[in-house]
Amino acid sequence: MAQTRFAPDRGLTSRMVTTMFFIGLLYVVVVGVLVVLLKGAWVVVLLIAGALFVAQFWYSDRIAAFSMGAREVTPEQAPELHGAVDRLCALADMPKPRVAIAESDVPNAFATGRNQKNSMVCATTGLLRRLEPEELEGVLAHELSHVAHRDVAVMTIASFLGVLAGIITRAALWSGVGRNNRDQNAAIAVLIVTAVSVVVYAISFLLTRLLSRYRELSADRAAALLTGRPSALAAALTKVTGQIARIPTEDLRKAQPFNAFYFAPAFNKESFSTLLSSHPTLEQRLDQLGRIATELGRP
C-alpha cells in the first residue's frame, strides 16, 4: 500500500490478509471439486475460473460504479465536490481519485477501485443536498480511507467468490452434471457441487460481513483523525441515518444489494442480526467518534 497520512490500522490489515487467505482457500476448493467431478473438462474449468477471477479484479470498479449509477463529473460540473476531494487528497498526500455523482435521493457515498491509481469516489445527489461542507468532507475522508487502505479491493474480490458459488449452484441444478449417465454418478455430482457451493457462499458471506463491519469503524477513525473533526463526521452519520429512514422503501431496496460499499446501509434495523449486518450500529460508530473527540481534545 502506498503511504498516505491516513492513520494505519494493523487490525484492518490483519483481517484483510485473513479474509483473502480463506477466500483463496475456498476458491481453490471450488475449482478442485469441479476439476475432480469434470475430469474430461478440467482444462476448461481452470480457464473459465481464471478468466472470471481476472475479469472481476480488473473490471470490478467499473462494474460497481455502473451498478450503483455513478457518473464521472468534471471540476466544472461539480466544483464543490471536486474542491473537497482536492483538499482531502492534499491533506492525506494521496493521488486524487476520479470523482462521480450518482442520481439518487438516498443520501450516501461509496468508493471503488483496485488501487489508488484506479479509484473512484462517488456521492449521491441526495447526500450533496443534505450535508454541510464540513460534514461532506468527513464522509469523503471516510471513503478515501477505504481507497488508501485498499479494503475496497479486498471486499470486491471477497464478494466475487460468493457470486461465483451462486452461479455454479444454478448451473449445476439447471444442466444436471453428467445427466446423460444412467447411473447414480450424475445425481451424486450435482449434490456435491451444490453442497460445496452453498457452503462456500455461506462462508464467504460471513467473512465479508465481518470484514465490512470492522472496515467501517476503521474508516471512521481514519477520517476523524485526518480531518481533526470527528464531530462533523458524527453529525453526517446522524443526519444520513435519519434521512435514510425517510426514503421510500422501494428506493432503499434498490440500494440494499450494495450496502457493503456504502457509507451507511440502506437498512440497518436493530432487530436484524449483527452477525449478518454489513455495518456496525450507529451507536457503535458515534461512541468511537466520541472517544476520538476526547483524545483530540475537541468538543
269 domain-assigned: no
2 domain-assigned: no
How confident is the prediction for the chain on average, in pLDDT? 81
Residue 147's pLDDT is 92
Residue 270's pLDDT is 45
At residue 230 the predicted structure's pLDDT band, cuts being 50, 70 and 90, is very high
Separation CA 207–CA 217 (nearest Å): 16
118 domain-assigned: yes
**What pLDDT digit, counting tens, does each position of 134-187 carry?**
999 999 999 999 999 988 888 877 766 666 666 665 665 565 544 555 556 666
More confidently predicted of 298 and 120: 120
- Candidates 60, 245, 237; CA nearest to 160 is 60
Contact yes or no for 204/159 (Cβ under 8 A): yes
217 domain-assigned: yes
Residue 268's pLDDT is 52
Least confident range of 84-88, 171-175, 197-201:
171-175
Separation CA 5–CA 278 (nearest Å): 26
For residue 1, pLDDT over 60 is answered with no
Residue 152's pLDDT is 82
Quick check: is 137 catalytic?
Answer: no
Residue 173's pLDDT is 58
Cβ count within 10 A of residue 162: 21
Percentage of the chain surpassing pLDDT 70? 78
67-77 average pLDDT score? 91
Which structural domain, as residue segments, surrounds residue 101?
17-264+274-297
129 domain-assigned: yes
For residue 286, pLDDT over 80 is answered with yes
Q: How many CA atoms lie within 13 A of 211 on its CB side?
A: 32
Residue 272's pLDDT is 47
110 domain-assigned: yes
- Candidates 5, 8, 12; CA nearest to 210 is 12
288 domain-assigned: yes
Number of structural domains found in the chain: 1
Looking at 143, 250, 270, 295, which residue is catalytic? 143
146: annotated binding-site residue?
yes
268-292 average pLDDT score? 78
162 domain-assigned: yes
**What pLDDT digit, counting tens, does each position of 237-276 carry?**
999 998 887 777 766 777 766 777 789 887 655 434 565 6
Pairing of strands 98-102, 119-124: parallel
142: annotated binding-site residue?
yes
